[in-house]
Amino acid sequence: MEISVIGAGHVGLVTGACFADLGHRVVMVDNDAKRIEQLKRGAMPYYEPGLEELVARGVREHRLAFTTSLKEGVQKSTIIFIAVGTPQKSNGEADLAYVEAVARSIAQHLCGYRLIVEKSTVPVQTGHRLAQTIKTYLKKKHPFDVASNPEFLREGTAIQDFMKPDRVVLGVESQRARQLLRSLYQPLGVPIVVTDIKSAELIKHASNSFLSMKISFINAIATLCERCGADVQQVAEGMGLDERIGRSFLNAGVGFGGFCFPKDLEAFIKISEQLGYDFELLKAVRRINEAQKGSVLEKMQQALWVIKGKTIGVLGLAFKPNTDDMRYAPAIEIIEGLLREGAMVKAFDPQAMPEAVHHLPTVKLCRDPYEVARHADALAVLTEWNEFKELDFARLKRLMRQPLIVDGRNIYDPQRLQALGFRYIGIGRGTLEPH
C-alpha cells in the first residue's frame, strides 16, 4: 500500500520504517530540511536500537523515501499518518498546533480519497477537530476519512513494540477506513481492537496514565518500605505474580521521565478538567513522581550531611536505558538540585552524552564510570544501563573519596555492596541506612 508518514520523530520514523519493512511504499515527510538531509544520508536523528539498519534496508529496496514536501506525501499515498509532536503547553495542555497545521496542508493538497490517521498522542475529541479542519480548508470536495491509531512504542524497544504489539487499536468511523487499516495491520498477527475514534484516543491516554500510576504506586510502597524496613523488590515480586497485577512497571526508582508519561499525564489531567472531571488520582500520581526525584536529594543530604563542596558522580542521564533521550529525565532535576546545593557533579551515560551537553552544561562529562568515581564523595545510579550492573567495585572503592552508592534504580544487591565495604542506599531497600 502507498503510505505517507508526516513527522520523522521517535514515533513517525519507526512507524514509516516498519511499514516499509512490511512491504509497503512509504514517504516520510518532515518540514525540518536538516533532518530530511540527515535521513537521506542514512544518519539517524536519535539512537534507537535497530533503526539505522531498518531505514537503510527500506531505502535500499526503494520502499522508503524522505521529503520535506507534504504535497508529495499526500499525493503519493492513500493512507496518511500524522505523527508530528504534541508537546506540552505551559498550562499543561497538549499543544496541537503542529497537528492542526498539517491538517490544513493536507486539505489543500487532497486529490482523491485519503485516509488521514492520528498516530500522535492526542487529547480525546481531536479526531473530530481534524475532520472539521480538513473539511474547512478543502480546495475541492474530495472524499476522506479520519481515524485514530495510537502507538504504544517504548523508546529502546520501539521496533519490536511495532512489529509485536500486544494489540493494535483502530479508531474508525467508516467501513472503508476499517478495511484499509485492518489490511495494513493484519500481517502482524496480533489482536486488533476496533473502536470509534474517541475511544481509541482515550485508550492511549488511559494506558499511559495507568502505567504511570503503577510506577507511582510502587514508589509510594518503596517509601513505606524505607519507613518500616521492608524491601520493595521483594514486595514487587510478591505482588507481580498475581496476574491481575503483573510484575512489569512495578520497579521502584527515581521516578518516571521521558517525552510521554509526564506530558501525557499532564494533558490527561487537563482534558479531564475541561470535561468537568477533577482527576485527583492522576494528580496524586504526578505528586508522588515529583516527590520521588526530590527523595534522591534528601537521601544524598542524609548520607553526606553537607552537599556543598562535595563531588557527586552520576551514572546514567537518559530517562531510561537503551536510549539517548534526556527529555524530562529525572537525572536533570536531580542534578540541578545537587548543583543548587553547591555540589560539583560529574556524569557518564553510554548514549546520552551529546544530549547532556545541552541539558547539563555545567556538569563535567566523563568517558566512563571510573572517571566519574575518581575523587567522588558519592556515586548515584540514575539510569539502569546494563553496563553499570557489573562494575569493578574494588576499583570504584579505591577511586572514590568515600564509598557511598545511591542506587536510584535498585540495580545492586545491598548485602553484596555492603560486604564490599560500600555504604549502600537504594529506593525502598529496607531502612535508609544500617544503624
What size, in residues, is the chain? 435
CB of 213 to ligand UDX, least distance (A): 11
CB atoms within 10 A of CB 228: 9
Determine which residue in the list 251, 272, 295, 410 makes contact with ligand UDX, applying CB under 6 A: 251
Residue 346 contacts ligand UDX per CB under 6 A: no
**For residue 281, which phi and psi values (nearest 5 degrees)?**
-55, -45
C-alpha cell at 101: 497545521
From residue 47, how far is each of 10, 11, 12, 158 by CA, in Å? 9, 13, 14, 11
Q: Does 316 bind ligand UDX (CB under 6 A)?
A: no
List, edge to edge, every strand of the sheet that includes 364-365.
Answer: 364-365, 344-348, 311-315, 378-381, 404-407, 423-425
- Name the minimum Å distance from CB 175 to ligand UDX: 28
- Burial grade of 106 (CB within 10 A; 0-12, 13-18, 19 or more): buried
Cβ count near 2 (within 10 Å): 14
**Residues 254-273 close enough to bind ligand UDX by CB under 6 A:** 256-258, 260-261
- Work out whether 408 is an interface residue with ligand UDX (CB under 6 A): no
- Quick note: the x/- pattern for ligand UDX over 153-172, rule CB under 6 A, is xxx-----------------
Q: Which is nearer to ligand UDX, 106 or 318 (CB)?
A: 318
Closest CB to ligand UDX: residue number? 260
Q: Which stretch binds ligand UDX (CB under 6 A): 146-154, 174-182, 190-198, 277-285?
A: 146-154
Under rule CB under 6 A, residue 407 binds ligand UDX: no
366 carries an active-site annotation: no
Site map 277..296 versus ligand UDX, x via CB under 6 A: --------------------
Binding window for ligand UDX (CB under 6 A); candidates: 101-109, 134-142, 147-155, 295-303: 147-155
Indicate which residue of 18, 225, 260, 366 is catalytic: 260
Residue 323 per-residue DSSP state: -
d(CA 308, CA 301): 10
Q: Does 47 bind ligand UDX (CB under 6 A)?
A: no
**77 counts as binding ligand UDX under rule CB under 6 A:** no
* Binder of ligand UDX out of 55, 83, 116, 250 (CB under 6 A): 250
Candidates 293, 320, 327, 346; binder of ligand UDX (CB under 6 A) is: 320
- Asked if 313 contacts 241 with a C-beta cutoff of 8 angstroms, the reply is no
Distance CA 298, CA 357 (A): 26
Query: Which segments of 49-146 does DSSP mark as H helices, in order?
Result: 51-60, 70-75, 97-109, 126-137
Q: Mind telling me the catalytic residues?
A: 260
Contact set with ligand UDX (CB under 6 A): 151-155, 208, 211, 215, 249-251, 253, 256-258, 260-261, 319-320
